[in-house]
Amino acid sequence: MSREKITAARRCVVKIGSALLTADGKGLDRDAMSGWVAQIAGLLDDGVEVVLVSSGAVAEGMSRLGWRTRPTAVHDLQAAAAVGQMGLVQAYESRFQQHGRHTAQILLDHDDLSQRQRYLNARRTLQALLGLGVVPVVNENDTVVTDEIRFGDNDTLAALVANLIDAEILVILTDQLGLFDRDPRQNADARLIGEGRAGDPALDGLAGGSAGNLGRGGMITKLRAARLAARSGASTIIASGREPDVLLRLWRGEPVGTLLVADQEPIAARKQWLAGQLQVRGVLVLDNGAVKVLTEQGRSLLPVGVKAASGQFRRGDLVACHNEQGREIARGLVNFNADETARILGQSSARIADILGYCDDEELIHRDNLVLT
């Protein structure tokens, strides 16, 4: 996707991070919010559907509670999120109303996107809201989620939402101008990368960590989000939310920020769902023959090609498939639990019934339930 094609995009996800939304821990920057809302309203008037993924609940809660340092205890974080969510929603609702637009609060957790039926329900709800001209304001459900089942950062959540609604563009607004060839905080001559491929592994070495203490993400999470968004064909733009009219200028085709082009064909919707799941319950180590069958022939994974298994997984759980060097090459929904898998490793499918006493499936993972990573 070139810059010019952005102007033709009709559906996007805009993510605004904590570093932008909060004024150095003093709560929400409501003046800045007014500016972004006005820009989103302008896109809506031009026929662009927008889902807003917004950070800021914990930071706003910290401000309201008088906390200067982000707490580490889970329940304190959840309390801050619960308090701050009120202010965040009120701020967006009042500002969008000034432009004659309704908003809807959507709180998601990992189970909403990992369970197929809930995933489809979330998809239909978001699509219905967009059809009504409503702006969904999405955030992770921080008040109930725990570290074991959280998305990890709103960059990842925004990418999953882009997959969920088949967005053409993911815009990540941050406090940086974009992705640089070196850390601009330490190198005055660092150059902004105007365009690249989302899947380019060379970009990983250019990404640093988070500069602040309010958010959980950094530039590396934005690169990972771009790769996740690319699975549904969405290109990603990383740009500074402090640039004047940044969203409107992007849709005019101006060279703002860093464009990371989706460099792969969109994968099927079911496999997008599989690829977006974060809770892997086990690992299967494949021999070279099985790796070749999966990656070059698109076939199912049979027990004979698996050398080892780890983890306590059940039938239907998501497991990762690694090559012998430890690199993940695929993931999928397994047809046997961990104990059964351990007994049939390296065996021909014809022997499954003899070993287990039954054989419901000949494949360890069927190709329809497997996605290459």
Whether residue 27 is found in the same domain as residue 111: yes
Whether residue 267 is found in the same domain as residue 284: no
Task: Specify the pLDDT at position 149.
Answer: 38
Q: Profile the chain (373 residues) by mean pLDDT over runs of 10 residues.
A: 79 92 77 96 96 90 86 85 90 96 90 79 93 94 56 81 93 91 79 89 67 53 89 92 96 93 76 72 93 90 94 90 92 92 93 90 89 82
Whether residue 215 is found in the same domain as residue 335: no
Contact criterion met (CB below 8 Å) for 344 and 355: yes
Task: Specify the pLDDT at position 214.
Answer: 37
Which long-range contacts does 200-206 make (Cβ < 8 Å, 24+ apart)? 200/263, 203/179, 203/260, 206/179, 206/180, 206/181, 206/182
**pTM of structure:** 0.77
Whether residue 152 is found in the same domain as residue 44: yes
Q: Is 306 helix (H, G, I), strand (E, B) or coil?
A: strand
Task: Specify the pLDDT at position 237.
Answer: 96
Task: Specify the pLDDT at position 25.
Answer: 57
Whether residue 304 is found in the same domain as residue 190: no
C-alpha of 302 from chain center = 30
Q: What is the CATH number of the domain that holds 349?
A: 2.30.130.10
Domain count, the chain: 2
Whether residue 191 is found in the same domain as residue 333: no
Q: What is the CATH number of the domain that holds 167?
A: 3.40.1160.10
Domain that holds residue 89: 3-271
How is residue 130 annotated by DSSP? Answer: H
Task: Specify the pLDDT at position 210.
Answer: 43
